Each structure stands twice: as C-alpha cells, then as structure tokens.
Amino acid sequence: MKWIRYLAAVSCLSALVLASGCQSPSALLAQRSHYLLGYTDSRWVYYTSKVGQAVELMRASLEGEVQQLTRSKPGVLNYQPKTSPDGKLVVFGSTRDGARALYVANADGRAVRAITLPVKGRSQMHPHWRPQPHTHYS
C-alpha cells in the first residue's frame, strides 16, 4: 500500500511540474518557493507554498490541477499537511492565531477548526492521524 501512495505522490509531483511549465521538480521549487512537505491521499498531494507574504496550504491532483486551500494574512505560516486515512480531512499546523497550533479542515480546505490552542512560546508540530482500532465481533 505504501508503494501505491509513493507512486501517486510522484505522479502528482510530475503533474504539478507540468502544470507549472517547469522542466523539473528542482526548477519548480526554485521558481515558486514550494515546500513539498505534504502527503498524498492517492488523488492529491498536499504541500505548502509561499504565496505573497504567507506560506499557504496547497494541493495538486494527478491531472495537474493546483488548488490553494488557505488564504492567510501576511506573515502566516501553514505547515506539515497530512490527509486522514479516508482522504476526507487534512490536518496541518498554522500560525494563523498568533502561535503554532494544529488545525483540521475538510480535504478541500473548508471548515477549518483548531484542534490545539495556540500558546505563545510553544509550538505544536508534526500532526499524525491515529489508526482506528479494529472492531472484532464474535
């Protein structure tokens, strides 16, 4: 299963490169200040990109469609997006409320809600999805 996600991520990155008109991933990174810290749900690659004076949450499809999921004030940093196992949600970090905190949103970036409280001087980073326990019936 991991190799399928890897291939999907490579395909999405290739689509992103083609959609941008760049010749290679390194040219894309140099030209657009993309931070490919994202995660694939086998249809999309989630990543962050500097847009204006903020670092925004983005996603790119296998077909080359690129979507900006956040629209932040200057200076805001969105970081480390990861999709839920079912691909319906994305968890990410952000400084949108003044300090690094974790947020969850629908996979399309709508309905953003905090899951940790931003505390000055503290950073909440490296979000992960907890596996669902298996239910066994006898």
User: How many whole angstroms separate alpha carbon 79 and alpha carbon 56?
Assistant: 8
Tens-place pLDDT, residues 56-101: 999 888 778 889 999 999 999 998 898 888 888 999 999 999 899 9
Answer whether residue 26 is part of any domain.
yes
In a domain, 121, yes or no: no
Please check whether residue 105 lies inside any domain of the structure.
yes
Q: How many domains does the chain have?
A: 1
Structure confidence at residue 115 (pLDDT): 92
Q: According to the model, what pLDDT value does residue 63 have? A: 79
Q: In this structure, what DSSP letter does residue 99 have?
A: S
CA distance 5 to 85: 11
Is residue 37 situated within a structural domain?
A: yes
Quick check: is 83 in a domain? yes
Output the average pLDDT for the chain.
75
Find tokens 């994202």 and name the residue.
Answer: 38
Instruction: Tell me which residue range forms the domain holding 102.
Output: 2-114
**pTM confidence score:** 0.69
Domain assignment present for 134:
no
pLDDT value for 137:
53
121: left (phi over 0), alpha (psi -120 to 50) or beta: left
- Phi/psi for 41 (5° steps) reads -110, 25
The reply to whether 135 falls in a domain is: no
